[in-house]
Amino acid sequence: MARGVRRVWTALLGLLGLVAVGAIWEGYKAIGPDDGVLIGETRVLPRTTDLAMPHLLDMVRRLGEPVTSAPGAEPLWRAVYDAASTSFGIAAVGWLVGVTVGLLLALLMQRIRLAEYGLLPWIVLSQTVPLIAFAPVVRRWGNQIEIGTWEWPPWLSVALIASYLAFFPVAVGALRGLQSPARIHTELMHTYSAGWWATLRSVRLPAAVPHLLPALRLAAAGAVVGTVVAEVSIVYPDGIGRQLITFAGQASGDPAKAWAPIFGAVALGLVAAVAVSLIGLLLRNYRRGEAL
Amino acid sequence: MKHTFRRTVVAGAALLATASMLTACGSDSGDGDSGGSGGSASGDLQEIKLQLQWLPQAQFAGYYAALDQGYFEDEGLDVEIIPSGGDIVPQDALANGDVDYAIAWVPKVLGSIEQGANLTNVAQIFQRSGTLQVAWADSGIDSVADFEGKKIGSWGFGNEWEIFAAMADEGLDSSTVDIVTQDFNMNAFLQRDIDAAQAMTYNEYAQLLETEDPDTGELYTPDDFNVISYEDTSGAMLQDAIWADTERLADDEEYAETTVKFLKAVVRGWIFARDNVEDAANITVAAGSSWGPSHELWMANEVNKLIWPADAGIGVIDEGAWDQTVEGALAAVNEQGQHLITTEPPATAYDNTYIEEALADLGDDDTTGEGYEPIEVTLAKGGN
């Protein structure tokens, strides 16, 4: 019973937060000066014109209207939903690839000390390569891959770039987790003459869960950001990244429209976060003393 | 027991999720591909890749019309049109051998040529410059000479050289103005963060005319703005041109022949876009342009104005205009004191033989558009 009440409270608080953001937006728009708040030459708070800050109601109303007045144009929310779902699918594939690679790397590094010394610096270094330098290279390589009749589809390039951001927290987090059991436990397994595999299954993997779950969450965030940036960078036509750019280009004549894909991107991030927390729910028996 | 069950559930859920995502993506890419390359069935057609310099829109109406009307197929070509808009630089994609032809502005490619790219302009599609600098009617900015001390907007990425060339011609140093990098929309100008904004006749200028004036509640009209057209200054430079790989033109006879065929289809595409401007706008919308119908039609119409009439025939490079572009490129110095080019480009930088052969082959088709008359386009709010 108490648990149920707490859940209702959590939901209410979340909703309240949303309402508060909306109230701050409209409140500032109502009382803020048209030209924003300036300290010297620097604008610290934005302009409050309809161009810079459309009314929330206008943005919501715009979502219900067709994308353009072309005959047969779908409503804006539908276009945003389609683009966001496409991006979600790509991000999910990127996340899965990243998590798999990250886990395998962590296992390798746990098993062979030398691999840890050899690989870990490179894994850290890999994240310093800027995405915009890396993306065109992936696209070019992808374009050249053809196996029989199978051609490397452009979305796979996007997923690969997303996985590049996603694997890092998993590799590092899972390694920390796999190494976290106290010596006394691993030595106990040793006295049972349990092999590496048995120790992994009954001691190391369960112990890794509290480290792994935050890593999976970071990986999800990385995969979503990587997907959106990579879509823009390699000119992938169907995702939310491209939609953000094209609708931003139309923001002068149709200011509310430019906000629609931003809502889409926010929803995408939320759905990804919820999906990962479901995994946490399934693994809750192992979540003692989670390292948040 | 309970644990085993839960593990099975986790594994099952993960598998299901993977499977559904993979299938979802698979079907998506299938849809996307069918528009572009889908050429495995058309066995004996020659595969050609054309790199655009921006997203699909009526700026490229002629190429999409040639694709839609089957003009490329008539020449035995299976053309895939590749949009840009991200980190793809068309002349680099061409120089790297990723594509067979590329659309790019002449000054940008002149810069690449000086840095070692070996490219040839085989058809100058746009005969006139479509770049404007737009100021408010009450700003007192009527000409390039008035730029001094003002905040001048530009997109950068090689789109700024006409500004500097025109200023150099007025004897204005680029350090006398404040160059502000512009976004893809006109908000910075509308909010008066920029005194004079860069705008293409076919795109950003229309964006202004489809924006509501908050004071009147009506759309802005041309009377609200002072428009400086670079075409009227000596800073004007040649824009959308078709570029080919110089070495392949010289060594690969088939590529040289393909170039003529490709140009024939492109010229027919642009003639279609001139004579059927509404259909041309619909074709680019179908090809993935996200603009509203009135904006797209405006763009198709304005682009036609940059091409037609073409006195020597569409695509033929006018020596005078070329020389002016080179002179401007040599004279221009940006706000960081950098030059676009320091020496004259090589003679291979443009070549009229392919387009002239293509025009001769087309014979009776009206390739000069002597009596061309643009249509009147009324822009709707937001271009919708």
**Tokens standing for residue A38:** 């300036």
pLDDT at A93 over 60: yes
**Tokens standing for residue B183:** 């976004």
Taking the Cβ of residue A252 and every Cβ of chain B, the question of whether any pair is shorter than 8 Å is answered with yes
What's the rounded Cα separation, in Å, for the pair B27 and A155? 11
Q: Which of B10, B185, B214 sits opposite A250 (nearest CB)?
A: B185
pLDDT at residue B383, rounded to an integer: 87
Q: Please name the residue that has the structure tokens 């169907």.
A: A238
Taking the Cβ of residue B129 and every Cβ of chain A, the question of whether any pair is shorter than 8 Å is answered with no
Identify the residue among A141, A250, A279 best suited for mutation to test binding to B, counting B beta carbons within 10 A and taking the highest: A250
pLDDT at residue B78, rounded to an integer: 96
Complex-level ipTM: 0.82
* Tens of pLDDT, residues A12-67: 998 999 999 999 999 999 999 988 898 888 888 999 999 999 999 999 999 999 99
Query: How are beta strands A42-45 and A37-39 bridged, if at all?
Result: antiparallel
**What average pLDDT score do residues A162-180 get?**
95
What's the rounded Cα separation, in Å, for the pair B208 and B225? 9
* Tens of pLDDT, residues B177-208: 999 999 889 999 999 999 999 999 999 999 99
Q: What pLDDT band is residue B11 in, cutting at 50, 70 and 90?
A: low
Phi, psi of B82 (to 5 degrees): -110, 115
The closest of B294, B216, B382 to A256, measured between CA atoms, is B382
* Tens of pLDDT, residues A193-228: 999 999 999 999 999 999 999 999 999 999 999 999
Q: Considering chain A, what is the average pLDDT of its residues?
A: 91
Taking the Cβ of residue B172 and every Cβ of chain A, the question of whether any pair is shorter than 8 Å is answered with no
Q: Which of B10, B24, B384 sits opposite A282 (nearest CB)?
A: B10
H or E, element range at B360: helix B353-362
Of all residues in chain A, the one with the smallest CA distance to B214 is: A50
B105 touches B240 (CB < 8 A): yes
Residue B153 one-letter amino acid: G
Subunit contact B191:A49, Cβ cutoff 8 A:
yes
B112 touches B95 (CB < 8 A): yes
The closest of A156, A145, A154 to A94, measured between CA atoms, is A156
**Tokens standing for residue B346:** 């090589």
Q: What pLDDT band is residue B103 in, cutting at 50, 70 and 90?
A: very high
Angle between helices A76-111 and A154-178 (to 10 degrees): 40
User: Which domains can be identified in chain B, with CATH numbers?
Assistant: 46-127+238-383 (3.40.190.10), 131-232 (3.40.190.10)
Q: What pLDDT band is residue B173 in, cutting at 50, 70 and 90?
A: confident
Subunit contact B88:A232, Cβ cutoff 8 A:
no
Subunit contact A132:B184, Cβ cutoff 8 A:
no
What's the rounded Cα separation, in Å, for the pair B163 and A210? 59
What is the DSSP code string of B163-192? Answer: HHHHHHHTT--GGGSEEEE--SSSHHHHTT
Subunit contact A68:B183, Cβ cutoff 8 A:
no
> pTM of this prediction?
0.85
In sequence order, what are the beta bridge partners of B81? B50
Subunit contact B285:A70, Cβ cutoff 8 A:
yes
Q: What pLDDT band is residue A141 in, cutting at 50, 70 and 90?
A: confident
pLDDT at residue B369, rounded to an integer: 93
Subunit contact A250:B291, Cβ cutoff 8 A:
yes
What is the DSSP code string of chain A? Answer: -HHHHHHHHHHHHHHHHHHHHHHHHHHHHHHS-TT-EEETTEEEE---STTTS--HHHHHHHHHSBSSSSTTPPBHHHHHHHHHHHHHHHHHHHHHHHHHHHHHHHHHHHH-HHHHHHHHHHHHHHTTS-HHHHHHHHHHHHHH-EETTEE--HHHHHHHHHHHHHHHHHHHHHHHHHT-S-HHHHHHHHHTT--HHHHIIIIIHHHHHHHHHHHHHHHHHHHHHHHHHHHHHHT-TTSHHHHHHHHHTTTTT-GGGGGHHHHHHHHHHHHHHHHHHHHHHHTGGG-TT---
What's the rounded Cα separation, in Å, for the pair B159 and B165? 12
Taking the Cβ of residue A130 and every Cβ of chain B, the question of whether any pair is shorter than 8 Å is answered with no
pLDDT at residue B37, rounded to an integer: 41
pLDDT at A291 over 50: no
Q: What pLDDT band is residue A79 in, cutting at 50, 70 and 90?
A: very high
Of all residues in chain B, the one with the smallest CA distance to A148 is: B40
In sequence order, what are the beta bridge partners of B46? B77
- Scanning B24-43 for CB atoms below 8 A from A yields 24-25, 28-29, 32-33, 40
Of all residues in chain A, the one with the smallest CA distance to B379 is: A253
Phi, psi of B244 (to 5 degrees): -130, 165
Cα end-to-end distance, chain A, whole Å:
27
Taking the Cβ of residue A277 and every Cβ of chain B, the question of whether any pair is shorter than 8 Å is answered with no
Q: Minimal Cα–Cα distance from B185 to chain A, Å?
A: 5
Angle between helices B253-275 and B61-68 (to 10 degrees): 100
Subunit contact A250:B382, Cβ cutoff 8 A:
yes
Subunit contact B22:A257, Cβ cutoff 8 A:
no
Subunit contact A238:B32, Cβ cutoff 8 A:
yes
